[in-house]
Amino acid sequence: MADTDVERKRLEAEAEALSALASQAEEEAGLGRPIAETVGDVVTRDPEDTEFASVLSDREVGENLVQLLEENREQVEHALDRMNQGTYGVCEDCGKQIPAERLRFRPEATRCVDCQARFDRTNVAPA
């Protein structure tokens, strides 16, 4: 397995980067401001106005992006927690070591490839 200190620093940097990206996406989408402020006088127009629809669509895309980035950051932080507990790199289903190559590409992985495939086949993500 990769050197734990190096991996820890990489995960910490990734968590910071994801947090910064989420903040930037939130700012660019105007998510920290009331919608009326984000869209300006477009709000007073016909709701079927394409400019209004575009602004709302951009905001929704921004919300989805921020949510995805935050979920990824939480997964990376969970990996850091597992590292602190000494369980990082151990499959949560079968208890075997997760290959270093998988962890290099998916540091937040909690299952080996076989167990993840089995999990994906038997569990359907909520819509």
Give domain limits for the chain: 1-88, 89-127
Which tens digit of pLDDT belongs to each residue from 69-104? 999 999 999 999 999 999 999 999 999 999 999 998
pLDDT of residue 71: 94
Q: Is the pLDDT of residue 39 over 50?
A: yes
pLDDT band at 1 (very low <50, low <70, confident <90, very high): very low
What does the pLDDT read at residue 4?
A: 80
34-51 exposure pattern, b = at least 16 Cβ within 10 A, e = fewer: eeeebbeebbeeeeeeee
What is the rounded average pLDDT for all residues in the chain? 83
